[in-house]
Amino acid sequence: MTADPAPRAAARLGLVTALLIVAADQASKLWLLYVYELGRRGVVTILPVLDLVLTWNYGISYGLFQQEGAGRWVLIGIAVVAVVLLGLWLRRAETRLTALALGLIIGGAVGNAIDRLAYGAVADFVLFHVTTESFRFSWYVFNLADAAIVAGVVGLLYESFFVTGAPKAP
């Protein structure tokens, strides 16, 4: 008896997606840090609502739970556990959307974990903001890995709530 090829194909899609996200995330960070030297430039305005600005995130999303020293290793450990568990889920993924979403999340988690290993913190650099005479809104500073994680979560939520007969998490 042969295994159903659909889950294997979906898992391959997720794995390729994860690898592409890690490569793009790390390439963008290396270029911004060492070629463009964003840290020396301060705030670089790209559009009226988009700036590049280098910040080092020692915590998790939105800068919560700032950790230095041993806390860095706790966050790396949490990322490793999350990637392993998501990888197990990916192996069982039956749809392309699930595999793609999991690949985005895994790739983003690995990309940020590499930063923690290499620099002790995650390099963030994209800042969306809206400024008027009476109002100022700034989103948190993020990177490609963060955007991939958010897109992956959105994909899983979409499939969970709006796709009829969508498989649920293991």
Catalytic status, residue 25: no
Q: How far apart are CA 63 and CA 52, in angstroms?
A: 17
Distance of CA 43 to the CA centre of its chain: 23
Quickly tell me which residue has 């305005």 as its tokens.
45
Catalytic status, residue 124: yes
Residue of 25, 51, 115, 124 with catalytic role: 124
Q: How far apart are CA 59 and CA 153, in angstroms?
A: 20
Query: Is residue 58 a contact partner of residue 119, using CB atoms and an 8 Å limit?
Result: no
20 by Cβ neighbours in 10 Å (0-12 / 13-18 / 19+) ranks as middle
Residue of 25, 51, 115, 146 with catalytic role: 146
Q: How far apart are CA 54 and CA 137, in angstroms?
A: 18
Query: Is residue 110 a contact partner of residue 26, using CB atoms and an 8 Å limit?
Result: no
Distance of CA 30 to the CA centre of its chain: 16
Residue positions annotated with a catalytic role: 124, 146
